[in-house]
Structure 1
């Protein structure tokens, strides 16, 4: 797979902050990134607590010694996996906001997010558990939410049909906080009555975001 995150200018610094051992040689960095990439793919389909270090090494084609030379434990690897996931999803989500016709941004963005959380629910549940032990582990997703809200603000301010005086930056950011809060809670707790499988879920979430943003005409979502 393409390690899209490796080109991120902050990648090495963020790995170091997560507890990953520094690597000086290119081959060592490539092996480290292969371990992270393989682990990310596995974690999206299998609960991470069910995967052993040996399983990860066999899937990557490296020894357990090579693993422990780079990661002190599996939780540190998963923190790196969370960094990679956030770095992978960031440009994809931002592209939706930048390139989609304005009135389609929220429905397409929300549908993409619902499908992503639904298809990667094992990964997100593992990420929640790790973040309970280390609150900093959630930082890459927190930054993504803030950047996504800022990208949306740029589109909102450029839209001719929007009353610019009605734009409230704090409410826009809170709308994205609502989106991620609902997605996270649904993935972790399935509180109901609506879950990822419910056809009404995306439209109801869109309604909640639009009402918080406060620049749109009321819409009867999830009806009919």
Structure 2
């Protein structure tokens, strides 16, 4: 794994964590992890940041309201850390894939397209409620969006050059930028499915990954491409 593609798993949550009271012992850290895990589950199930109560959270985490307020000033700060913790975990998963799966560097382009689409389809399926909750809760300029934008930028920075290097020579004047746009179209399609559930597309459709992979590959390839 190269330096430019390695980001510590907890890097995305550093800013928020720094502003919170830090656990003084292992038991306190375990309580924090339990709260974050419970919060992620509740947000995913509700599809909303307001669809669960603090009582629901502490009950699911087997802790207390006092323990919550000992660490968090309010529910919004807690929900923001749940998001950042989730994004850090996703980035760590991608780093592992980049380091262990030779397809990311060796290609061919169709296989890299499959890896990219598989990554995004997988994360939207696992965290559909959480992503929908933040997208519905906050306007695009809200600071809560910043972790999503930054995490996606870093993910694209790691993925795009690997695919762009396999795009047929001369297909685009700026293959990196064009590849980034194409991948963003895949992300936009998945976002639309999560938020609006358009007819003819479903997140759990077993054909979805294949269809999006074909769309991405066809956009970036040319009829004369061999390995593409």
- TM-score of the two chains, using structure 1 as the length reference: 0.74
1:87 equivalent in structure 2: 88
Shift of 1:130: 3.0
> Does residue 144 of structure 1 match 2:151?
yes
Match of 2:169 in 1: 163
Structure 1 unpaired stretches of 5+ = 220-224
CA contact (8 A) 2:164 2:176 kept: no
After TM superposition, the score normalised by the length of structure 2 is 0.73
Question: CA 1:32–1:208 in structure 2 vs 1: closer, same or farther (change >3 Å)?
Answer: same
Cα distance change on mapping 1:64 and 1:138 into 2, 3 Å: same
Q: Please give the alpha-carbon distance, in whole angstroms, between the structure 2 residues aligned to 1:37 and 1:8.
A: 15
Q: Any unmatched runs of 5+ in structure 2? A: 1-6
Does the C-alpha gap of structure 1 residues 175 and 95 become closer, same or farther in structure 2, counting only changes over 3 Å? farther
Provide closer, same or farther for how the CA distance between residues 100 and 217 of structure 1 changes in structure 2, counting only shifts above 3 A. farther
1:11 aligns with 2:37: no
Instruction: After TM superposition, list the pairs within 5 Å mapping 1:1-224 onto structure 2.
Output: 8-9=10-11, 11-15=13-17, 21-23=20-22, 25-26=24-25, 28-48=28-48, 49-97=50-98, 99-101=101-103, 102-103=107-108, 104-132=111-139, 135-156=142-163, 159=166, 162-163=168-169, 166=172, 167-212=174-219, 214=220, 216-217=221-222
Paired residues in the alignment total 209
**CA root-mean-square deviation:** 3.3
For the residues of structure 1 that align with 2:79 and 2:186, how far apart are their CA atoms? 24
Give the direction of change, closer, same or farther, for the CA distance of 1:218–1:83 in structure 2 (3 Å limit): farther
CA 1:95–1:118 in structure 2 vs 1: closer, same or farther (change >3 Å)?
same
Q: Distance in 2 between matches of 1:112 and 1:165?
A: 25
Secondary structure at the counterpart of residue 13 of structure 1: helix
| SS in structure 1 of the partner of residue 216 of structure 2 | helix
After superposition, what is the alpha-carbon deviation per residue over 1:73-102, rounded to whole angstroms, capped at 9, x for unaligned?
322211111101111111223444552522
State how far apart, in whole Å, the 2-side matches of 1:207 and 1:39 are: 36
